[in-house]
Amino acid sequence: MTGHKLPAVSALGTASLRGRPIAVAGYTDDALRRWDPDTGRPLGPRVAGHSHWVRDVVATEPGGRMVLVSGAGAEGAVRIWDVAAGTLVHDPLTGHTDQVTSVAVIGLQDGRQAVVSAGHDATVRVWDPVAGTAVGTPLTGHRGTVTTLATAELDGRAVVVSGGRDGDLRVWDPSAGTLHAVTQDGPTGE
């Protein structure tokens, strides 16, 4: 791509396409691009559909279909894309009232995979990526933007950990839709 400069990379993830690993990058031009990490070449055209730059991207395989999950800026929507085709699986997942800042994937107690998103609206939301619907009600409690998400297993249960501008870490049980634990008053500096 001599003489051509791509927009800035704003998110990065990996996925599998036809049994081979691929890199998936989100860009500040509101699109995703799939890349072959072995050759450095693009795999198909850019995947466009967001109206703001891509903040985060992860891959998952709910129901045996490899998909990309992306969240983007001020539109407040999470999108789920077919990895091979680069097309939307269903309508965007909407509910955030401000920017989506982070997305993650987690297994629920009933065996389903779920998508988790965080946003400037101080909420964490859980989604069914197959049905394209919300799972339960928004998880609330942060006092400001939720900036990041992580997933883990705690005592045999899947949990989501959210971090926000309020300095707190909150540990959620996404299957029950409840708060498990919270740090108090942010970091102490010790």
Closest-CA residue to 104 (of 163, 48, 155) = 163
Does the pLDDT of residue 188 top 80, yes or no? Answer: no
pLDDT on residue 131: 94
Give the pairing of strands 54-60 and 47-48. unpaired
Higher-confidence position of 73 and 144: 144
Report angle CA 94, 14, 50 to the nearest 5 degrees: 30
Beta carbons within 8 Å of 88's beta carbon, 6+ residues apart? 49, 79, 80, 81, 82
Q: Is residue 3 part of a domain?
A: no
CA distances from 5 to 1, 2, 42 (A): 8, 8, 14
User: For the domain that residue 28 is a member of, what is the CATH number?
Assistant: 2.130.10.10
* Structural domain that includes position 18: 9-142
Are the CB atoms for 138 and 145 separated by under 8 Å? no
Contact 32, 57 (CB under 8 A): yes
Q: What's the pTM? A: 0.91
Q: How many domains does the chain have?
A: 1
Q: In one letter, which amino acid is 165?
A: R
CA distance 170 to 182: 4
pLDDT digits (tens, 9 = 90+) for 44-96: 999 998 888 899 999 999 988 899 999 987 789 999 999 999 999 999 999 99
Task: Please report whether residue 53 resides in a domain.
Answer: yes
Percent pLDDT > 70 in the chain is: 94
Q: 105 in a domain, yes or no?
A: yes
Whether 184 shows a pLDDT value over 90: the answer reads no
Let me know if residue 136 belongs to a domain.
yes
Evaluate if residue 187 carries a pLDDT over 60: no
DSSP string, 66-125: -EEEEEETTT-EEEEEETTT--BSSS-EE--SS-EEEEEEEE-TTS-EEEEEEETTSEEE
How high is the pLDDT of residue 12?
A: 96
Per-residue pLDDT, averaged over 141-161, amounts to 95
Per-residue pLDDT reduced to its tens digit, 3-59? 457 799 999 999 999 999 999 999 999 999 999 999 999 999 999 988 888 999 999
**150 is a domain residue:** no
Per the domain annotation, does 113 fall within a domain? Answer: yes
